[in-house]
Amino acid sequence: MEKKLTKEEVLHVAELARIAVTDEEIKKYQVELKKLLDDVEKINEVEGYDDEILIAPWSNHTDLREDAEGEMLEPKQVLENAPRHSGNYIQVPVVIGESEGA
Amino acid sequence: MSNYIATIGVEVHVELKTKTKIFSNSKNGYGQMANSLTNVIDLGYPGTLPTLNEEVLNLAIKAATVLNCKIRPEIHFDRKNYFYPDNPKNYQITQFATPIGYDGYVEIEVDGEKKKVYIEEMHIEEDTCKSTHRGVKTLLDFNRAGVPLIEIVTKPCMTNSKEAKAYLEKLKELLFYSDISDCKMEEGSMRADANVSIRKKESDPFGTKAEIKNIGSISNVGVSIEKEIERQAKIYDKGETFKPQTRRYDDKLGDTVLMRVKETGNDYRYFPEPDIPFVIVTDERIKNVKKTIPMLPDERREKYLSLGVSEINTTKLIQNRNLSDYFNHLLEEKISHQTASNLLLGDISAYLNKTEKDITDTTLSKERFIELVNLVSNSTLTSKNLKEILEIILESKDSIQSIMKSQGIENITDDKEIREVIQKIISENPESVEDYKNGHDRAIKYLMGQVMKETKGKANPKMANDILKEELQ
Instruction: Check whether B87 has a pLDDT greater than 70.
Output: yes
Q: What is the pLDDT of residues B345-386, one digit of tens each?
A: 999 999 999 999 999 999 999 999 999 999 998 888 888 889
pLDDT of residue A47: 74
pLDDT for position B412? 76
Q: Is A56 on the interface with B (CB under 8 A)?
A: yes
For B127, nearest residue in chain A (alpha carbons): A102
Is B461 in a helix, a strand, or coil? Answer: helix
Q: Which of A4-13, A24-33, B432-441 has the lowest mean pLDDT?
A: B432-441
d(CA B364, CA B344): 11
- Spans of all domains in chain B: 5-286, 297-406, 415-472
- List the CATH code of the domain at A7-44: 1.10.20
Nearest to A97 among B51, B259, B280 (CB): B259
Lowest mean pLDDT segment, chosen from B23-32, B271-280, B378-387 = B378-387
pLDDT band at B407 (very low <50, low <70, confident <90, very high): confident
Averaged pLDDT of chain B: 92
pLDDT exceeds 80 at position B263: no
ipTM of the complex: 0.85
- Mutation target to probe the A interface, by most A beta carbons within 10 A, among B49, B55, B139 is B139
Q: Do A64 and B76 touch (CB under 8 A)?
A: no
Residues B178-208: pLDDT tens digits? Answer: 999 999 998 889 999 999 999 998 888 999 9
CA distances from B193 to A14, B164, B211 (A): 29, 11, 7
Question: Measured between alpha carbons, how far is B323 from B358 in angstroms, rounded to an integer?
Answer: 9
For chain B, give the percent of residues with pLDDT over 90: 70
Q: Do B137 and A92 touch (CB under 8 A)?
A: yes
Taking the CA of residue B338 and the nearest CA in chain A, the distance in Å comes to: 42
Residue B426 has pLDDT above 50, yes or no: yes
**Does the distance separating the beta carbons of A91 and B20 come in below 8 Å?**
no
Sign of the alpha-carbon torsion through B196, A12, A94, A85: positive
Query: d(Cα A96, Cα B402) in Å, to the nearest integer?
Result: 68
Q: Angle of helix B461-472 relative to helix B430-437, nearest 10 degrees?
A: 80
**Residue A61: its chain B contacts at CB < 8 A?**
277-280
Strand ranges inside B155-241, DSSP E: 190-199, 210-215
Chain A residues in contact with B213 by the CB 8 A cut-off are 98
- The answer to whether residue A83 neighbours chain B at the CB level (below 8 Å) is no
pLDDT above 80 for B43:
yes
**What would you report as the CA-atom Rg of chain B, rounded to the nearest whole angstrom?**
30
When scoring B26, B27, B35, B49 by the number of chain A Cβ atoms within 10 A, the one with the most, hence best to mutate, is B35
**B324/B315 Cα distance (integer angstroms):** 10
Of B20, B139, B273, which is closest to A89 when you measure between CB atoms? B139
> Which residue of chain B is at minimal alpha-carbon distance from A54?
B272
Q: What confidence score (pLDDT) does residue B212 get?
A: 94
Instruction: Give A54 to chain B, closest Cα distance, Å.
Output: 8
Task: Mention every residue, 6+ apart, whose C-beta is less than 8 A from residue B239.
Answer: none
Query: Residue A102 — very low, low, confident or very high, per pLDDT cuts 50/70/90?
Result: very low
**What are the residue boundaries of the structural domains of chain A, listed by start?**
7-44
Q: Over the stretch B136-152, which tens digit does the pLDDT of each residue have? A: 889 999 999 999 999 99
**Strands B245-250 and B210-215, sheet pairing:** parallel
Predicted confidence (pLDDT) per residue in B244-261, tens digit: 899 999 888 888 898 877
The region of weakest confidence among A21-25, A45-49, B34-38, B99-103 is A45-49
What pLDDT shows up at residue B260?
Answer: 72
> Which H helix or E strand runs over A96?
none
Above 90 in pLDDT, residue A31?
Answer: yes
Q: CA–CA separation, B426 vs B419, rounded Å?
A: 10
DSSP for B112-164 reads: TEEEEEEEEEEEEEE---EEEEETTEEEEEGGGTT-EEEEEEE-S-B-SHHHH
Alpha carbons A65 and A63: distance in angstroms, whole number: 7
Asked if A98's CB is within 8 angstroms of B259's CB, the reply is: yes
pLDDT at B133 (0 to 100): 85
Q: Do B166 and B108 form a contact (C-beta atoms < 8 A)?
A: yes
Model pLDDT, residue B34 = 96
Longest dimension (CA), chain A: 57
The CATH code of the domain at B415-472 is 1.10.10.410
Q: Give chain A's radius of gyration (CA, Å).
A: 22
Are B170 and B147 within 8 A, CB to CB?
no
Q: Say whether A68 and B20 touch across the interface (CB within 8 A).
A: yes
Residue B26 is nearest to which of A70, A79, A92, comparing CB atoms?
Answer: A70
Question: Which of A38-47, A89-98, B333-342 is modeled with the greatest confidence?
Answer: B333-342
